[in-house]
Structure 1
């Protein structure tokens, strides 16, 4: 069989950014791959909540296709899967365990798993509650890619038998996310889907400062917030904003707030795609603190850290516009140089090349439920 040069992704969504951060991550990475000359096919399950909120039904830099279920996926795409240079399965794919079985059984190129939720995945692998990946499947992939860096990569190799665990952070398309020169009429804004474990931080670091500064304007953009939440009168709420409008929204903010989910904060080294987007747009950033953030942006120079209402209100009242803009410019320079979509695509290229060029594979580690047991579990 003749091998193609195609890279196939099977992910949560690329056509809709509603209620998820995966779409923005995939769009940036795959746009970078396209600019490097790669041919990409993205497969995603057709879900009603994405169907009614598609903000990118057609993508000029890759071929995207919807499927109804795993049976259709197998029937329509097995020959293409077998011929692909690489196949990358993403986290939170519906019926992901079955999808992984299909990929591991039939792909002949590099087989990779891209985890955009690594701390959540690792916690659930321990008690077999992860719906999109089994522990037995981890050592069968040639490559485990993770949006979380740091010690968790060693844990994937040591505790779960991953052959090669490598960091692949989110990134930003620096052509799409740029300073807009818009008047900054929002004192502090936040862009993010509702998360129960993130909401207390949003209350502490945005809603309470808004109450203490009633004459200033705040904004929260994101889907799935409960209807019974009570917002301060000076906090504007927008349910969803398509990525094409993000740069303008960032441009309106005097500061933007970056918040991290509890599992990600605990693991560290888990930068949100919003952190990169805001920096690329030249918007000053206030972020919660977690291990590893200083390897991405220098606190006090490129980002300001806060863990209390007082921290945020003091920043808003005491940091001058000139100081804030100087910090934003430094952050933009850093992110554009190290975390652009092309930079991330080049990293992925190097990982795939190393996996493809490995002449001798490590023997599969003796961990619970490896390949022979996987075949039984799949039925």
Structure 2
């Protein structure tokens, strides 16, 4: 089927943490026989920080972030069997959602793909006029980045006809163990952009242990941290391109995952970096969130910390031998159970079933 996907960016991970998720899922869908067009605005300097060239498995359309550019790409929605509006495009989000619904064929499947479902649901609860809340009656399906039963139940309560979590995963062709790189050598590394609903948790789980472990080396990558006061044993790298992620994850003694506030509260929301770090054989330390054992086994495939003191305690006792064993076990688990190939087959099945239902109702 022809899929028109309106999202933040397929080509750039700059201020766009969903990039590798989109690439993994959509590449897998292309292998299932779908013809995909990805529409992304030329905004936020993302095109100046591309990680990849336009892939051969999807048609890439970069449009001017103007009303004229918006109208041009929305006009193509009527050519697709499935139209998808992802959240967090950053420009014209309301207009894109309304336009996708208005321009889709009557027999097309209309999908909202929420890569920040917990936060979206909080906004919908606080705002009766929220565009997603208003659009649910015209949408056939909601797919989410994660969130498990709590997110499914909340979306159904708001009126979604169907809601299915599609979790992050790993593509072994792009994320795999790499040779160590001294540029990323440290005891604990964290990769993530500076965001208001993440910063306090980064302070607790990363900067707090750094401040009490002055004899250890810490490394932080991601945009926005350059103005943040940090202990002297923390190095800041700035934006880390996806081509460097394997070395970033393979080199340190351990790699930290810190969930955003809403995702930690809801649970069942493993970030992309969980699977990418595991796929690179990293010894992953994650903040505690409900459902972690659904993806990785604590103490064998991942180390779980309740707070910064736990992180410091884990690092203090972590040997290189144990770190390698945990990383190897995690790598084997995600390749076996959490690959994008498996996610692609799941999404293909969900879309085909929902599309058949939509055609019957048209």
Give your verdict on TM over 0.5.
yes
Name which of structure 1's ranges 56-65 and 254-263 shifts more when overlaid on structure 2.
56-65
Deviations for 1:258-317, whole angstroms, at most 9, x for unmatched residues? 000111111111110010100100001100011111111111111111123321122112
Tell me the CA shift for residue 30 of structure 1. Answer: 1.5
Deviations for 1:326-346, whole angstroms, at most 9, x for unmatched residues? 221221122112221211111
**4+ residue runs over 4 A deviation:** 359-363
Tell me the CA shift for residue 204 of structure 1. Answer: 2.4
- Counterparts of 1:127 and 1:183 in 2: how far apart (Å)? 46
Tell me the CA shift for residue 139 of structure 1. Answer: 2.3
Please point out which of 33, 37, 51 is paired with 2:33: 37
- Residue matched to 2:170: 172
Contact 1:255 1:286 in 2 (8 A): yes
- Residue matched to 2:198: 198
- Counterparts of 2:87 and 2:250 in 1: how far apart (Å)? 31
Contact 1:157 1:165 in 2 (8 A): yes
- Residue matched to 1:375: none
- Counterparts of 2:4 and 2:344 in 1: how far apart (Å)? 14
The structure-2 alpha-carbon separation of the partners of 1:127 and 1:317, relative to structure 1 and needing over 3 Å to count, comes to closer
- Counterparts of 1:226 and 1:124 in 2: how far apart (Å)? 29
- Counterparts of 1:115 and 1:301 in 2: how far apart (Å)? 31
- Counterparts of 1:204 and 1:125 in 2: how far apart (Å)? 29
The structure-2 alpha-carbon separation of the partners of 1:197 and 1:106, relative to structure 1 and needing over 3 Å to count, comes to closer
- Residue matched to 2:43: 47
Unmatched segments (≥5 aa) in structure 1: 364-379
The alignment partner of 2:95 has SS state of helix
Q: Does 1:163 align with 2:157?
A: no
- Residue matched to 2:103: 106
The structure-2 alpha-carbon separation of the partners of 1:304 and 1:112, relative to structure 1 and needing over 3 Å to count, comes to same
- Counterparts of 2:321 and 2:21 in 1: how far apart (Å)? 31
- Residue matched to 1:254: 253
Name which of structure 1's ranges 216-225 and 58-67 shifts more when overlaid on structure 2.
58-67
The structure-2 alpha-carbon separation of the partners of 1:359 and 1:225, relative to structure 1 and needing over 3 Å to count, comes to closer
Tell me the CA shift for residue 64 of structure 1. Answer: 1.0
Please point out which of 142, 145, 148 is paired with 2:143: 145
Unmatched segments (≥5 aa) in structure 2: none
- Residue matched to 2:59: 63
Aligned residue runs from structure 1 range 225-236, under 5 A: 225=225, 227=227, 229-236=228-235
Tell me the CA shift for residue 70 of structure 1. Answer: 4.4
The alignment partner of 1:111 has SS state of strand
Contact 1:70 1:99 in 2 (8 A): no
- Counterparts of 1:361 and 1:162 in 2: how far apart (Å)? 18
Aligned residue runs from structure 1 range 79-118, under 5 A: 80-93=76-89, 94-108=91-105, 109-118=108-117
- Residue matched to 1:374: none
- Residue matched to 1:75: 72
TM-score by length of 1: 0.88
TM-score by length of 2: 0.92
Aligned CA-pair RMSD: 2.1
Tell me the CA shift for residue 125 of structure 1. Answer: 1.4
- Counterparts of 1:349 and 1:71 in 2: how far apart (Å)? 33
